[in-house]
Every structure is written in structure tokens, then in C-alpha cells.
Amino acid sequence: MTRGRTLDHAAAVYDILSPLMLLGQEQMMARPCLKYLEDPVIHDVLDLGCGTGTLTLEIARLLTARCGQVVGIDAAPRMIEVARKKAGIIRNVRFDVVAAEALPYPDQSFDHVLSTFFFHHIDMELKLRAIDEAFRVLRPGGSLIIVDVDAPTNLFGRVCAWAGYYLFKQEEIRENIEGKLCLAAERSRFGAFKRLAHYQGYVSVLQLTKGF
Ligand SMILES: C[S@@+](CC[C@H](N)C(=O)[O-])C[C@H]1O[C@@H](n2cnc3c(N)ncnc32)[C@H](O)[C@@H]1O
């Protein structure tokens, strides 16, 4: 279905292990992207590579008051199974088993797209395709927010980023370290990006906005 590195094998333990992998900083780096959802015109949100849906469910809570809804997608069926269980009876969230580079949604169907720690799971060609798909499904004026490993800017960042690469032997992480996520953002249909924040010397928050 995708050559992205899916995490079916880790679905049962992801919520326990993932915070440890990022030295407990995961929430600190991912949660601030919720502030970009505060604009009340945002109703329909898409979370790419949502994993077990922890952030997706927070987004659902945030959108409840304005009757908005969020769709979380992941190419790993077991991750989606866990996410659906966690969602229980929450009505304004849906989880689909879908690859980010081939979204089954119509053009201009979302106000906002976001993605946390997903893009280091796909190679350069898929990064470009996934970003272009986000562009296609976004309504004009909407943004794609990406939180992910980027080119390190200090010693601590270099140690963390390269440790991740050697631990998982994941070429897609090396690509991010080499700045290819930003390159994909520039080469995409968005044509440009803004770096909104940079954490721990190796994780960036990128904003790509679709013009009117
Ligand atoms: C590190 S997890 C991030 C999960 C979640 N966003 C978070 O911040 O905890 C990366 C996720 O990307 C998924 N993935 C890998 N390739 C994919 C693809 N081509 N399309 C959609 N999801 C994919 C994996 O299955 C995994 O659940």
C-alpha cells in the first residue's frame, strides 16, 4: 500500500514507547501546533500519519465547540485500530487507513492539515507527493503545519537527530537531517514555507500556506 515505514508492529506499545524515544519532549514539541487551530473559521482538519490518534483526539475536543471535525489517517491498520478504540464514542473524529501520498478525499475538503513526526517515515519522493496531496485537499487560505526532524542547528540537536538515524537505520531520517523535508516543501505546489519554531536544535515546525 505504501513504502513508507508504517508502525503496525509497534501499535500495541506506541503510546508507552514514543514519549521515551523523544526524551519526554514529544508533547512539548507537538502540542503547540494546536494553537494554529484557534482560528474559528477552521472546521475541517486532517491529521496525516496520526498514529494512535492522541493529538487527533485533542483536536476533536478543540473543534467540538464550533462543530468542527477531524480526520486522522495512517497507513498502518493496527495504529488506526488503537486510535478508533481510544476515540470511543467521540463523534467529531474519524480515523481512516490511508496513505498520505494518495488521499481519497476530494479537492479543497479541509481548512487545515497537520502532521507530527510523520514525514521522517517517508522518502523524498513520497514527501513531495504527500505535501502535494495536502495542497490539493486544502481550501484556499488553509495551511499545512508539519512538526518533524529537520537539519540540526546545535550540538544537542545533532546528537539527538543522528542517534535517531543510527538507532532505526532509517534513511528517511537522514533525508530530514540533510534538509530534504524543507527542500520538498519548497519544490511542492505550495512553493514556499515558513519555519515557525525550532525545538531542541533538531525539530522544526513548518507552515505551508495555500494562496487564494
Ligand atoms: C512516528 S509516528 C507519528 C504518529 C503521530 N503523528 C504522533 O505524533 O505520535 C509515524 C506514523 O506514520 C505512519 N506512516 C508511515 N508511512 C505512512 C504513509 N505513507 N501514509 C500515512 N501514514 C504513514 C506510521 O504508521 C506511523 O504511525
- Grid cell 514529544 is found at 26
Question: How far is it, in rounded angstroms, from Cα 210 to Cα 12?
Answer: 36
**β-strands 138-149, 110-116: how paired?**
parallel
- CB of 170 within 6 A of ligand 1: the answer is no
| Domain positions in the chain | 8-209
CA 15 to chain centre: 16
- Measured in Å, residue 80 CA sits from the centre of ligand 1 at 10
Question: How far is it, in rounded angstroms, from Cα 190 to Cα 209?
Answer: 6
Give the torsion sign (CA, 84, 88, 91, 92): negative
pTM over 0.85: yes
Contact at 8 Å (CB) between 135 and 144?
Answer: yes
Residue 21's pLDDT is what?
72
178-199 tens-digit pLDDT = 999 999 999 999 999 999 999 9
Residue 24's pLDDT is what?
66
Q: Which atom of ligand 1 is nearest to the CA of 53?
A: 5
- Measured in Å, residue 202 CA sits from the centre of ligand 1 at 19
- Grid cell 487527533 is found at 56
81-131 tens-digit pLDDT = 999 999 999 999 999 999 999 999 999 999 999 999 999 999 999 999 999
Whether 3 shows a pLDDT value over 90: the answer reads yes
- CB of 181 within 6 A of ligand 1: the answer is no
* 8-209 under CATH 3.40.50.150, yes or no: yes
46-87 tens-digit pLDDT = 999 999 999 999 999 999 999 999 999 999 999 999 999 999
Question: How far is it, in rounded angstroms, from Cα 67 to Cα 159?
Answer: 43
